[in-house]
Amino acid sequence: MVFHCPISGYKTSTNTSYTRTELREMLRRGDTSISTQGVNENNWVFGSAPSSARNAAGGVDGALRATLAVNHVTTTGDNSQVGRVIVGQIHANDDEPLRLYYRKLPGNSKGSVYIAHEPKGGSDTWYDMIGSRSSSASNPADGIALNEKFSYEIKVVGNTLTVTISRPGKADVTQVVDMGSSGYDTSDQYHCFKAGVYNQNNTGSGSDYVEATFYALENSHTGYAD
């Protein structure tokens, strides 16, 4: 699957400043009588959520696994935005427990990987995994080049988030985030995975774009069968 998104592309909501081409996880299996939103059979909840939410949801906890290559990132625009793209997310009601970024600066041959965790109603906490998210980062020695395949796993068990980056012939890189105080284990919070390209540049040329090829993509949840 090839995901392509120019800066001048479509914005999916009035709340976003950026364009995207993504898949949004749907657990309802095409049953449109089930709402896309809410604690229901279309969405999943943390294993630390109350039993009422776990019983109503389509799944409990979860993992998203992908193998992909980022083919192109933006090369124009503001220095703070150039070269960055989100390739995987966990989305909650209004916030994002997890955003997985790839970023390659124009002067570098390899890109960095980092994540952001947004507590409910709070400010982002950032974690560099490979290289640096800095707008002045030097070429990351262990970075990932454009068109280079890598895999990621985003996993939630209870209030623990684990993100793992895997590459052939290299040791896995893992980041664990304790979400015990993040506010997502209440009866009203629901979640979905997203994958694709979420362009994080709105200042460059309209024709400038991000693109990624996904070679494998799968989800899993406790209580949700294929």
The predicted-structure confidence for 119-159, as pLDDT tens digits, reads as follows: 999 999 999 999 999 999 999 999 999 999 999 999 999 99
Q: How confident is the model at residue 16 (pLDDT cuts 50, 70, 90)?
A: confident
Query: What is the Cα–Cα distance from 12 to 150, expressed in whole angstroms?
Result: 27
The candidate with the shortest Cα–Cα distance to 193, out of 60, 71, 62, 50, is 62
% of the chain at pLDDT higher than 70: 97
Range of the domain at 59: 2-222
CA dihedral 8, 9, 10, 13 (to 10 degrees): -60
Query: What is the Cα–Cα distance from 49 to 185, expressed in whole angstroms?
Result: 4
Q: How much is the average pLDDT of 169-195?
A: 98
pLDDT at 13 over 80: no
Query: What is the Cα–Cα distance from 156 to 158, expressed in whole angstroms?
Result: 6
Mean pLDDT rounded to a whole number for the chain = 96
Which helix H or strand E contains 126, and what residues bound it?
strand 125-130
Say how many C-beta atoms besides its own lie within 10 A of residue 60's C-beta.
21
The candidate with the shortest Cα–Cα distance to 50, out of 176, 158, 192, is 158
Q: How confident is the model at residue 176 (pLDDT cuts 50, 70, 90)?
A: very high
pLDDT at 38 over 70: yes
**DSSP assigned state of 189:** -
The predicted-structure confidence for 69-127, as pLDDT tens digits, reads as follows: 999 999 999 999 999 999 999 999 999 999 999 999 999 999 999 999 999 999 999 99
- What is the model's pLDDT at position 9? 77
pLDDT at 10 over 80: no
pLDDT at 203 over 80: yes
CATH number of 211's domain: 2.60.120.200
Number of domains in the chain: 1
Say how many C-beta atoms besides its own lie within 10 A of residue 55's C-beta.
12
Rounded to 5 degrees, φ, ψ at 54 are -60, -40
pLDDT at 226 over 70: no
pTM as predicted: 0.96
Q: Are strands 150-157 and 160-166 parallel, antiparallel or unpaired?
A: antiparallel
